[in-house]
Amino acid sequence: MDLRELDVALARFASLDPARLPIHWPQILVTVALLGNPTYQQIEERLNLTNSSVSRSVNGMGDHHRRGGDGLRLLTITKDPDYGRRYRVQLSARGKALVRDLQLIGHHTKRESP
């Protein structure tokens, strides 16, 4: 991805809620898309984030923000069936649609390049 693609992709992501969108949220979304069904620990290790940061971020991109408001509904959180204290994260339908949009950005900008 070149800088133009990155710029367009980040702008697309920021358009969801520019007032409360920390930069590591797109990183978490991409990590979930790449890994499929990661645990919080896998996200923490891949992005060098704390458990509390991952938890707050994933919840904010899930159904409900920690302050009681609506989340972005990009991720779903489920308990790991093999280990009840561990949670796994997946893209929601809305998250999958956003990832498809982001993937299309690369295709469009490549066609527009001189």
Average pLDDT for consecutive 10-residue bins of the chain (114 residues)?
Answer: 75 76 87 93 93 93 82 94 91 94 73 55
Domains and CATH numbers, the chain: 3-112 (1.10.10.10)
Name the strand (E) or helix (H) holding 103: helix 93-112
111: helix, strand or coil: helix
Rounded CA-CA distance 105/60 in Å is 24
Q: What is the pLDDT of residue 11?
A: 79
82: helix, strand or coil: coil
Rounded CA-CA distance 92/85 in Å is 21
Rounded CA-CA distance 84/98 in Å is 29
Burial-class residue 23 by CB neighbours within 10 Å (0-12, 13-18, 19+): exposed
99: helix, strand or coil: helix
